[in-house]
Structure 1
Amino acid sequence: MPVKAIPKVSIARNGVGTLVVPCNKIQIQYCNWGGSSQGVRDLLTNGQLNNFASNNKNIFIEVIKKSGHPTATFHYSNKDKVNEIDIKNLKFNEVLKKINEYSQRSGNELFKWNHKVLSINQSTRGIWSPMHEAKSDRYKI
């Protein structure tokens, strides 16, 4: 009698099989007459922000005209993380570069990882050091 496989639907995991972009909303706040908002106004008039929005359809972009220095606020999907950056006195290509950079981040704090392997599983062998050996088995100098 032949062995038949049991049909099973794969378990959906975040990021496996689909791309889930962590940044889901960008708010750009600028002033209509302030000198520090000139780069943001140039970005809005030359249409580069429209190109960015059409290339990233899964990111909601909100533009707010409000007095004060321009800021860009990025809303991430992991634990409702919000990152706000100051974009005053930047040229339009620098503003677009900042928006592109922060939209590709995960929203987590930047850190330096000094270990070679990052795993969520414990080691099966445990921790080893020469001090865990029995005194009779230790190397004698």
Structure 2
Amino acid sequence: MPVKAIPKVSVARNGLGSYIVPCHKIRVNYCNWGGSSKGVREILKSGELNQLGLTKKSIFFEVVKRQGHPSVEFYYNNDSVKDIPVKNMEASDVLKKINQFSQASGAELFKWNHKVLSTNESVRGIWSPMHVAKNDRHKI
């Protein structure tokens, strides 16, 4: 009887093969009249956002003019959206926020020393006292 391999689809892991940027879209919301959008308007007038868009070609930039305080929305590949308010920020601070969150993964923050994060199944399998045959359980 021939031995057949079990077909398994390979798991895509970022960094092996080709790198995919986690942030795929950035939406900049600003008001053309309000004073809290001054920093965002300076970025748009000076063309710094255009230069940033040329350096980050894999990210789609969208500029939306609307009423209210300015904000920058980041859309990630894991279907998460982060809305960062940039109210009353200088132009340099807004650019720092865009650079910071465009390089983030979009995942929730948690302590690495308390949780194990793995995409692979356990090598040893699941164990509990109920997974052992009744005859082999420890008796008191």
Shorter-chain TM-score above 0.5: yes
Which residue matches 2:43?
A: 43
Question: Which amino acid in the other structure matches residue 50 of structure 1?
Answer: N
Q: Deviations over 1:42-65 (max 9, x none)?
A: 111112111110010010000001
Mapped to 2, the partners of 1:98 and 1:76 lie a distance apart of 15
Unaligned segments of structure 1, at least 5 residues: 1-10, 128-133, 135-141
Question: Which amino acid in the other structure matches residue 34 of structure 1?
Answer: G
Which residue matches 1:4?
A: none
Q: Percent identity?
A: 50
The runs of at least 4 aligned residues of structure 1 exceeding 3 Å deviation read 115-121, 123-127
- How many residues align? The count is 117
TM-score by length of 1: 0.74
- The answer on whether the counterparts of 1:14 and 1:20 sit within 8 Å (CA) in structure 2 is no
Query: How do 1:106-121 residues align onto structure 2 when only pairs under 5 Å count?
Result: 106-114=105-113, 118-119=117-118, 120-121=120-121
Q: Secondary structure at the match of 1:45?
A: helix
Choose 1 or 2 for highest CA Rg: 1
Unaligned segments of structure 2, at least 5 residues: 1-9, 128-137
TM-score by length of 2: 0.74
Query: How do 1:1-141 residues align onto structure 2 when only pairs under 5 Å count?
Result: 13-15=12-14, 16-78=16-78, 80-114=79-113, 118-119=117-118, 120-124=120-124
Mapped to 2, the partners of 1:58 and 1:125 lie a distance apart of 40
- Sort the Cα spacing of 1:43 and 1:123 in 2 relative to 1 into closer, same or farther, 3 A: same
Mapped to 2, the partners of 1:126 and 1:110 lie a distance apart of 27
